[in-house]
Amino acid sequence: MRQKGFTLWFTGLPCSGKTTVADALAKDLRDRGMKVERLDGDIVRKGLTRDLGFTKEDREMNIERVTFVAKLLTRNEVAVLCTFVSPYNKIRHKSREEIGEYILVYVKASPEECAKRDVKGMWAKAKAGEIKNFTGYDDPFEDPENPEIVINTETETIEESKSKILDWLNNKGYLQN
């Protein structure tokens, strides 16, 4: 049985738990023998997008390039897990149109909870005015209009969030046994 390609696109505030859940899920999918690629800021900013900052234009360009890569991998039967704040509906829609097999996962957590976690000290820097255009602080995060899956990392464990996504994929025939 050939694997069906798809892109799971995780959107959510900084520190909402996108990477944690996606990494756990990636491991699970790989254990099933599936081909998986993870795309996130730390990975793409090394090469693909290292000229870009965090203005609206730069964010848009960043997502545009990632979308190009996700599209090519998806149509070649890879499970692509993208974790980007990706705060704007307009740009999410463009990615969906381009990629086709695009599954939007809204990773929910309140700004207060995200600021408390602050794994990289970015929320603190935003509050101190050292970073500008920080989503959730001085740049807006638009609630996704039509996410296929919503997880809440404040009320669910990582395992629970992961299971929610796996169940969805299984029901839609995306999982390989």
Residues annotated as catalytic are 86
Q: Which of 65, 96, 125, 127 binds a second copy (CB under 8 A)?
A: 65
Q: Which of 19, 67, 86, 95 binds a second copy (CB under 8 A)?
A: 67
Nearer of residues 5 and 14 to a second copy, judged by Cβ = 5
Is 77 among the residues that bind a second copy (CB under 8 A)?
yes
Nearer of residues 33 and 173 to a second copy, judged by Cβ = 33
Cα first-last separation, the chain: 9
Please answer whether residues 166 and 28 qualify as being in contact, where contact means their C-beta atoms are separated by less than 8 angstroms.
Answer: yes
Q: Name the DSSP letter for residue 165.
A: H
* DSSP alpha helix (H) spans, the chain: 18-31, 41-44, 56-74, 89-99, 111-117, 122-127, 158-171
Q: Which of 15, 26, 78, 115 binds a second copy (CB under 8 A)?
A: 78
HSE (side-chain half, CA atoms, 13 Å) at 63: 25
Letters for 134-153 (x = contact with a second copy by CB under 8 A, - = none) are --------------------
